[in-house]
Amino acid sequence: MALPLLSPDAFVGRIEGQAVGLYRLQSTHLQAAFCNHGARLLELIVPDRLGQPRDVVLGHDSLQQLLLGMPSMGAFIGRYANRIAKSRFELGGRKYRVPANEGPHCLHGGPAGTRHRVFQVGMHAQDRLQLHGRLSSADDGFPGDVDVVLEYRLEGARLILGYEATVTGAATPLSLTAHPFFNLEGHDADSALDHELQIVSDEFVPVDPARIPRGYFASVQDTAFDFRRPRSLRQALAQGHVQLEIGSVPGFDHAYRTRGPAGALHVQARLRAPGSGIVLELWADTPSLQFYSGAAMDGQLPRHAGKHGRVYRSGAALCLEPQQFPDAPNQPLFPSCICQPGDRVRGRIEYRFSV
């Protein structure tokens, strides 16, 4: 039986006068579908160990469902991925307050971050899609303006995201990432907890009850956070840790310090599904990797309505988000995330698939 695909007609619309649609890419090994609202990945079809296609990312059936669902699902995140404590920071001797959208805190760029924006389509070919977006201080409340150019590209069994951000007007904190929700058994599988995960890191960032960093690094040695050797999420959760008890359902939502040289592409994580045999290797050039185990998905509608009638529940997928460190503008031990006017920030994320 053929794998059901998203209907492009279901994503045609206009938001604040800007055209929205669904854009398909294909290579020799992969197929993908993106919506330019949030520059989001909604479908990624990968062959399993038997050569059968599986859609390995969670997503939505329509533009209407997308607007009512989880705003991070599959989206490109900016201008600041993760959290900024109390929605404020100091820069150049001046105090800034940005819009809050998670209690008193600013999450993923606030209520006007990129996941809520329509990107302009610059180029669409069989294997690549170029998108343009602009973040202005007048719209999102951060200092300075940022012009972003993204390119999604399929090369054989690789999905590559390259981005370039140009800062003008004033210095600003900047942290950009992609936020796919992966289940390598298929988006309609009940759970990703039996996936085997390896994270190439010796340290993670402990957080407080609001998931704000406590300002130091902790060793993963002999803890539930130790994924230096592959093991299942279920095994790690069973080991237990006080940091896993933050929230109503135990789970991971923590940053890891990656081992690679600053600014250079390096492997950050590997993920394998025992049923499908699909392996994902994540490469990026960021100093941090956020690992989210999907605990907060609770099946409530319409927020967790998924593709083809599926309802997404706790542990149905996981996220691996290469980025700058959370709350870095307020954390003196973390590398600086501040970009100056005239800076051009380039980044690259590669999802490499095999069986």
User: Catalytic pick from 43, 185, 196, 321?
Assistant: 321
User: Catalytic pick from 37, 179, 195, 254?
Assistant: 179
> CB-based contacts of 172: which residues, under 8 Å, 6+ apart?
79, 91, 142, 143, 144, 146, 338, 339
Residue 1, pLDDT score: 55
> CB-based contacts of 312: which residues, under 8 Å, 6+ apart?
58, 181, 297, 299, 304, 305, 306
Residue 132 is among the residues annotated as catalytic for this protein: no
Query: Is the domain 8-354 a CATH 3.40.50.720 member?
Result: no
Distance of CA 36 to the CA centre of its chain: 15
Residue 2, pLDDT score: 79
Residue 80, pLDDT score: 98
> CB-based contacts of 113: which residues, under 8 Å, 6+ apart?
77, 78, 79, 80, 135, 140
Give me the amino acid identity at 260.
Answer: G
Could you tell me which of 163, 174, 164, 166 has the C-alpha nearest to residue 140?
174
Residue 308 is among the residues annotated as catalytic for this protein: no
How close are the terminal C-alpha atoms of the chain, in Å?
Answer: 22
DSSP 3: P
Rounded Cα distance between 213 and 6, Å, is: 38
Domain ranges of the chain: 8-354
Residue 54, pLDDT score: 98
Low-confidence ranges of the chain (pLDDT < 70): 1
The pLDDT tens digits for 234-260 are 999 999 999 999 988 899 999 999 998
Say how many residues make up the chain: 355
